A and B are shown apart, each in its own frame.
Chain A
Amino acid sequence: MTVARDLLQWTVIVCLAYVVLVYGAYGAMIAYSMLEERLRRRRRVFESLDRIRASSLTIPVSIIAPVYNESPIVALSTRSFVEIDYPEYEVIVVNDGSTDDTLEVLQREFDLEPIEHFYRRRYESGPIRGLYRSRTHPKLVVIDKVNGGKADSLNCGLNLARYRYVCGVDGDTILSRSCLLNGMRLALSDPQRIVGVTGHIAISGRPEEALAADGEPAKLDSRPFLAFQHSDYLRSFFNNRLGWTRLNTMLCAVGAFQIWRSDVIEEIGGFSTTFTCEDIELTFRVHEHFRREGREYEIVSLADTVGVTEGPDTLKKLIAQRERWQRVILETVVAYRRMMFRRRYGAVGFVGVPFFVLSEVIAPVFELLALLALAASVAVQALAVEQALLTLAALALMNGLMTSAAVLLEDRTSRAYPLGDLVRLIVLGPLDLLVYRPFIVWARLKGTWRYLRGDQGWHKFERNARPAT
């Protein structure tokens, strides 16, 4: 019994140390994010997107959007791509062997005609079945290819991309009209140094309803389940990615919006098809490549919301999505573990990767351990019930603080959402630990387990149901 109590005591101490460490790291990252946001805000006061919009000196961009069984949303998302406000760009939608009527929807909505075309085979990708150009939107090209996964589709799109910058997006994301102006505004300020740009993506059960008439995000999904996901994204982007940008350790340019200089992608050989998901891995690889060669570079995150993506609207779908994310993180971190604490990799090796390990890789284990230890402590009366409840309340408030910090950063940047939406997010903040986080912990544990078993499947969840039109 004494041994068990000692073990329990040590478990609690270790978990407590982990909590202090992880929240300390988050706190430091929020401080960096606030510094970065302040700097951006100061610059933005004097910047005019109208000038960039009217400029003949902007750098053209190729948007590549892989789609697989996206028939309910593909017309809406593709329409948002072709309506982006930017002087010169092209849209390449890659139908990755969809088994539903995705291609037919595109043909019907955009009046596609087959074209004859010979492209560069710079990157290996699955065979192309057909190439189409829209008669109504000349900047839209659709590739129909044999199924090969998202990375394979992106590589296929790269083979056809004409421009110096490429922007990988998700087929279920509705992009805001100003996304490229905002993204390229940063890249244009130093095209030699800035090799990658990513931005914040909002969450909604129906992304098409989240934008205002001017094509900018303006409305939160009112369902608490989606609001929790939205605040989760806010924390991830505003509390972490802005700080990572400040430290030049941006470790994940999200797949839903990732702008890269195409020569950089070519140098590192395109998107890897050996990982479950391509975005984190590519970002790690770019860091490794540039740091190893001692070249100056930057991967930056925008503080602007560049689009709205479809969030899962059921628990089952959410768990499937987060389970995959956990596997992807584990795959990537394990593959690039050599970067940890190596001088050659600078801030990425000493701050970025360890932060990732601390907050993502080992988090589910400690979260589970903490939960069990808390319950066991109460059971063996090592901890009074009120002490356990107070501990939970303290942790819930920590989460609430982080959510509020993210909401503050987001609102200072965009002022997009009504005050009522902001208050709702703040109020939901402390509840996150009790009603949302347990499912995420479960999903992450499941992901860890599946990673250990070598599962590399995508396990795509079904699109949210929409009323018939």
Chain B
Amino acid sequence: MVPTWLILSTTVVLLVLWLALAARVVGSRLAHDRLVRLRRRDAGLLAGGDDPTHWSRRRLWRTADGEWRPGVAEAANELVGRDGPRLRRLAGGDGQRRSHALRVLTRGGSTFAFSLLRSALDTEQPEVRAAIVAIAAEQETPAADELLLRILVEGSHPRSRTATELIPRARRLVPRLIDLADHAEPEVRYWALMLLRDASDKPGVKAAAVRCSSDPSGTVRSAAARLLGATRAADVQHVLGALLSDEVFFVRSHAARAVGEIGAEDLADEVAALLADTSWWVRAAAKESLFLLGDSGLAAATEMLQDVDGFARDGAREVVSAFRREARPLELVG
């Protein structure tokens, strides 16, 4: 039916392919393990004060493009000094080598690094943009801050990821973030307010939150409610009181939780009324908030035990029952 030579040659080809692939697996693993070993050794030498100026280019590249740790900047700087033009050429190119060259240039403190990073943002490749965010996030410099803020505003990389990198530097970026809280794009305003939560004690932050509590976008109002909660300021009660009756359910939910966080006992009854809200999320937040409000929360929940609404009665019963157990704020379920 089928000639033997055909089956035999197919089998031989497959055998060769299988062996080649097996060799690839083993080779790739051995190369990786060797790289890890060498990087670890070089990192140890650098930490011990070894001078990288006598290292080969290959060794410098290996270290400068590895994990970010002490001594890497010195190795990168030495490489930039020796191989600057080539690195800049690679950084202006395309693909993965571009990202790596950008990283070495930035770590090495090249004067061209940030202009190259900015121009690389125009790329169509999302992995290069992701690399730019990560490279900038390693640097604690104003230029890095500016670049990350620009990426956040432009939205050229998922904003949630850029914001994650901006969290550690939020406190020193307060004035810029307050400005962004008035940006034309709602998503930018939202992320600015979310980042300000880590600097809620700084001047101007509370005012920005109050201003944004009447934003046309529900998402922004919800972020404002969360920020108001983070300020722990008693004088924002009236703002939160208004947000408790917002038309958007997640604004009400965040406002309810914020009331508990700032300990606004005067609003306990308004929060208890939310136990009868149409949204489960709001009812859950109201329960957490009443628990945080302590005695006034317990009193408000006890009153709701006789409410006409079944949800309110059940929620109140749950809050009262949770008060009887040991204190466990924010651990209430459902």
CA of A57 to CA of B161, assembled, Å: 9
Q: Chain B: interface secondary structure?
A: helix
Residue of B nearest to A411 (CB): B29
Contact B21 A138 (CB under 8 A): no
Task: State whether A43 and B130 are in contact (beta carbons under 8 Å apart), knowing that A117-B318, A387-B2 are contacts in the complex.
Answer: yes
CA of A434 to CA of B17, assembled, Å: 20
Task: State whether A404 and B21 are in contact (beta carbons under 8 Å apart), knowing that A55-B164, A116-B321 are contacts in the complex.
Answer: yes
CA of A404 to CA of B8, assembled, Å: 22
A and B contact pairs by CB, cutoff 8 A, 9 listed: A115-B333, A117-B333, A118-B311, A189-B161, A377-B1, A390-B7, A394-B7, A401-B17, A411-B25
One digit per residue, 1 when the CB lies within 8 angstroms of any chain A CB and 0 when it does not, for chain B 25-36 equals 110111011000
User: How many A residues have CB within 8 A of the partner chain?
Assistant: 62
Q: Would you call B210 an interface residue if the criterion is a C-beta within 8 Å of the partner chain's C-beta atoms? A: no
Please indicate which of the listed interface residues A9, A42, A90, A382 has the most CB atoms of chain B within 10 Å of its own CB.
A42
List CB contacts (< 8 Å) of A34-48 with chain B. 39, 42-43, 45-48
Task: State whether A56 and B198 are in contact (beta carbons under 8 Å apart), knowing that A117-B333, A387-B7, A390-B4 are contacts in the complex.
Answer: yes
Min CB distance A188 to B, Å, is 5
Q: Would you call B40 an interface residue if the criterion is a C-beta within 8 Å of the partner chain's C-beta atoms? A: no
Contact A46 B198 (CB under 8 A): no
Q: Would you call A296 an interface residue if the criterion is a C-beta within 8 Å of the partner chain's C-beta atoms? A: no
Q: Would you call A213 an interface residue if the criterion is a C-beta within 8 Å of the partner chain's C-beta atoms? A: no
Partner of B11, one of A113, A394, A412: A394
Residue of B nearest to A427 (CB): B22
Contact A51 B4 (CB under 8 A): no
Known: A42-B127, A429-B18. 19 other contacts (CB 8 A): A43-B127, A43-B130, A43-B131, A45-B99, A51-B165, A117-B334, A118-B315, A120-B280, A162-B284, A188-B158, A188-B164, A390-B8, A394-B7, A404-B18, A404-B21, A405-B21, A411-B28, A419-B33, A423-B26
Report which A residues bind B (CB closer than 8 A).
Answer: 9, 12, 16, 39, 42-43, 45-48, 51-52, 54-58, 90, 113, 115-120, 133, 138-139, 141, 160, 162, 188-191, 377, 382-384, 386-387, 390-391, 393-394, 397-398, 400-401, 404-405, 407-408, 411-412, 415, 419, 422-423, 426, 429-430
Q: Would you call B53 an interface residue if the criterion is a C-beta within 8 Å of the partner chain's C-beta atoms? A: no
A405 cross-chain contacts in B, Cβ below 8 A: 21
Please indicate which of the listed interface residues B1, B325, B328, B333 has the most CB atoms of chain A within 10 Å of its own CB.
B333
Contact A46 B99 (CB under 8 A): yes
B318 cross-chain contacts in A, Cβ below 8 A: 116-118
Q: Would you call B139 an interface residue if the criterion is a C-beta within 8 Å of the partner chain's C-beta atoms? A: no
Min CB distance A391 to B, Å, is 6
B133 cross-chain contacts in A, Cβ below 8 A: 46
CA of A119 to CA of B317, assembled, Å: 12
Residue of B nearest to A88 (CB): B330
Contact B127 A430 (CB under 8 A): no
Q: Would you call B194 an interface residue if the criterion is a C-beta within 8 Å of the partner chain's C-beta atoms? A: yes
Contact A162 B30 (CB under 8 A): no
Contact B161 A188 (CB under 8 A): yes
Min CB distance A271 to B, Å, is 19
Contact A12 B160 (CB under 8 A): no
Min CB distance B181 to A, Å, is 16
Min CB distance A128 to B, Å, is 12
Contact B130 A408 (CB under 8 A): no
Contact B96 A162 (CB under 8 A): no
Contact B194 A397 (CB under 8 A): no
Contact A57 B25 (CB under 8 A): no
CA of A58 to CA of B161, assembled, Å: 9
CA of A404 to CA of B284, assembled, Å: 50
CA of A465 to CA of B130, assembled, Å: 47
B211 cross-chain contacts in A, Cβ below 8 A: none
Contact B137 A42 (CB under 8 A): no
B158 cross-chain contacts in A, Cβ below 8 A: 188-190
Contact B26 A387 (CB under 8 A): no
List CB contacts (< 8 Å) of B300-334 with chain A. 311, 314-315, 317-318, 321, 325, 328, 331, 333-334
Contact A46 B134 (CB under 8 A): yes
Contact A401 B21 (CB under 8 A): yes
Min CB distance A369 to B, Å, is 16
Contact A47 B130 (CB under 8 A): yes
Residue of A nearest to B288 (CB): A162
Min CB distance A397 to B, Å, is 4
Q: Would you call B123 an interface residue if the criterion is a C-beta within 8 Å of the partner chain's C-beta atoms? A: no
Contact A116 B18 (CB under 8 A): no
Contact A422 B25 (CB under 8 A): yes
A54 cross-chain contacts in B, Cβ below 8 A: 167-168
Q: Would you call B10 an interface residue if the criterion is a C-beta within 8 Å of the partner chain's C-beta atoms? A: yes
Residue of A nearest to B281 (CB): A162
Contact A408 B28 (CB under 8 A): yes
CA of A393 to CA of B25, assembled, Å: 22
Residue of B nearest to A139 (CB): B331
B151 cross-chain contacts in A, Cβ below 8 A: none
Contact A384 B4 (CB under 8 A): yes
Please indicate which of the listed interface residues A46, A52, A55, A405 has the most CB atoms of chain B within 10 Å of its own CB.
A46
Residue of A nearest to B280 (CB): A120
A382 cross-chain contacts in B, Cβ below 8 A: 1
B32 cross-chain contacts in A, Cβ below 8 A: 415
Min CB distance A27 to B, Å, is 11
Contact B22 A426 (CB under 8 A): yes
Task: State whether A57 and B167 are in contact (beta carbons under 8 Å apart), knowing that A190-B158, A377-B1, A423-B26 are contacts in the complex.
Answer: yes
CA of A408 to CA of B18, assembled, Å: 12
B164 cross-chain contacts in A, Cβ below 8 A: 51-52, 55, 57-58, 188
CA of A51 to CA of B168, assembled, Å: 9
One digit per residue, 1 when the CB lies within 8 angstroms of any chain A CB and 0 when it does not, for chain B 278-289 equals 001000100000
Contact B4 A387 (CB under 8 A): yes
Task: State whether A46 and B131 are in contact (beta carbons under 8 Å apart), knowing that A57-B160, A387-B4 are contacts in the complex.
Answer: yes
A397 cross-chain contacts in B, Cβ below 8 A: 11, 14-15, 17-18
B18 cross-chain contacts in A, Cβ below 8 A: 397, 400-401, 404, 429-430
